[in-house]
A = this chain, B = another copy of it.
Amino acid sequence: MERTTIGYEKLRSYLADMLEKGLGYDRQTAETGAYVLAEADARGHASHGAARVKLYHDTIQDGDAVADGKPEIVHETPVSMVIDGHSGSGFASSKLAMDRTIEKALASGACMTAVRNTGHFGMAGVWAEMAADRGMIGIALTNTVRAGIPLFGKERLLGTNPICVAIPRGEKPHFLLDMATTTVALGKIEVAARRTGIMPAGWFVDEEGEDTQDAVKAEEISRSGTNPYGGMTYLGGTDETMGAHKGYGLGLLVELMTAGMSLGNPTFDTYSGKGGLCHYFQATRLDLFGDAGAIEAHVEYILKTLRESPKVLGRDRIYIHGEKEHENRKKSLEEGVFLDPATWKRLDYYADLFGLPHPEP
């Protein structure tokens, strides 16, 4: 029988074992990582789910990360921290960072934390929402590996540099904006390469800095560890008319808040013997601005007004960021988490490599 879905808890516990026994993470980091990956699949973001075991394994194999690297708080004030990830897992440093950021924010009202020399932390949303789960505004930013081109440039010096902000609204699912500042994620270029080889204009510029629709070439360029030319555009594409300078500015802002504030590696210096990447986290108590309950209700009033306003022909819904993922998650918890055939196959591959049993539906 073909495997399609897997129980959420089963997936989580399987991934925890794989990250611990296969990659060498300590048990707590393995459990954190398994949670992050399972959540991504449960919410319908397969690009950040179980299939990413490959990325984490590769980074250790390539010597760019150390499985048991322990994050360390190297600077702190009542409202801030700087953490050195010591080339360890992004799950370990992000867990420490958000746990302590929330603690400090509970005591001081707000806390801002910059992390350097860390690893890929999975889907940004799970970190920002940890603060929202405690009634606070949460922010999570990260730089990545070389992906995007500064406007009018040819070299991919910046990352996909996501911005994630979570705002609680009482009983309702959080407002959760979680967006790469590049026009699209690499996953979309891969899909285009596989299907037709052609992608929309405005997503990618080639080695000469010219807009290209060749998805196969774009994927090849993106995966090259040696050729730094050509890369993704930022929100707004290649054209100032459509605001390309704004998207580039947002990507650059993330770079400055992560690498700049942590004194860590900018995307263009990440790995290649120079150590890991950088995050930025923030938690802000709602009652800094008065009655937290009234604020949550007011936020919900704004969102409700949008949601109930007239829709364009052919659309029956105005989305609030995070709602779609919340609904997917609910369904996944009830009916099982869908994994596509490629992901099942990849898990089998790593199970064999690590001497673990294959995952079962």
Interchain CB contact (< 8 A) of A247 among B80, B152, B235, B315: B235
Chain B residues with CB below 8 A from A253, complex form:
165, 167, 175, 177
Complex Cα distance A288/B104, Å?
A: 13
A74 CB to closest chain B CB, in angstroms? 8
Interface-located stretch among A48-56, A218-226, A255-263: A255-263
Complex Cα distance A309/B267, Å?
A: 14
Chain B residues with CB below 8 A from A243, complex form:
179, 183-184, 235-236, 247
Interface-located stretch among A200-208, A336-344, A351-359: A200-208
Q: Do residues B109 and A78 form an inter-chain contact, with CB atoms below 8 A?
A: yes
Is A268's CB within 8 Å of the partner chain B? yes
Kindly report which residue of chain B lies nearest to residue A284, judged by CB atoms: B112
Interchain CB contact (< 8 A) of A75 among B208, B247, B289: B289
Which among A229, A241, A289, A317 has the greatest number of chain B C-beta atoms within 10 A? A289
Interchain CB contact (< 8 A) of A80 among B75, B109, B200: B109
Complex Cα distance A351/B255, Å?
A: 47
Q: Do residues A256 and B302 form an inter-chain contact, with CB atoms below 8 A?
A: yes
Chain B residues with CB below 8 A from A152, complex form:
311-312, 315, 317-319
Interface-located stretch among A4-12, A153-161, A327-335: A153-161
Interface-located stretch among A59-67, A93-101, A291-299: A291-299
Kindly report which residue of chain B lies nearest to residue A238, judged by CB atoms: B312
A304 CB to closest chain B CB, in angstroms? 11
What is the number of residues of chain A that contact chain B, defined by CB distance less than 8 Å? Answer: 80
A311/B263 contact (C-beta < 8 A), A110-B112, A179-B246, A305-B268 known? no
Binding site for B on A (CB under 8 A): 75, 77-80, 82, 108-110, 112, 114, 150-155, 157-158, 163, 165, 167, 175, 177, 179, 183-184, 200, 202, 205, 208-210, 229, 235-237, 241-243, 245-247, 249-250, 252-253, 255-256, 259-263, 266, 268, 284, 286, 288-290, 294-295, 298-299, 301-302, 305-306, 309-313, 315, 317-321
Kindly report which residue of chain B lies nearest to residue A268, judged by CB atoms: B305
Chain B residues with CB below 8 A from A289, complex form:
75, 80, 82, 112, 114, 261-263
Kindly report which residue of chain B lies nearest to residue A74, judged by CB atoms: B290
Chain B residues with CB below 8 A from A301, complex form:
266
Q: Do residues A312 and B256 form an inter-chain contact, with CB atoms below 8 A?
A: no
Interchain CB contact (< 8 A) of A318 among B151, B263, B298: B151
Chain B residues with CB below 8 A from A151, complex form:
318-319
Query: Can you name 17 A-B pairs with beta carbons within 8 Å?
Result: A75-B290, A112-B288, A152-B311, A153-B312, A165-B253, A179-B249, A184-B241, A200-B242, A202-B242, A208-B312, A209-B310, A235-B247, A237-B242, A250-B250, A261-B295, A263-B295, A268-B305
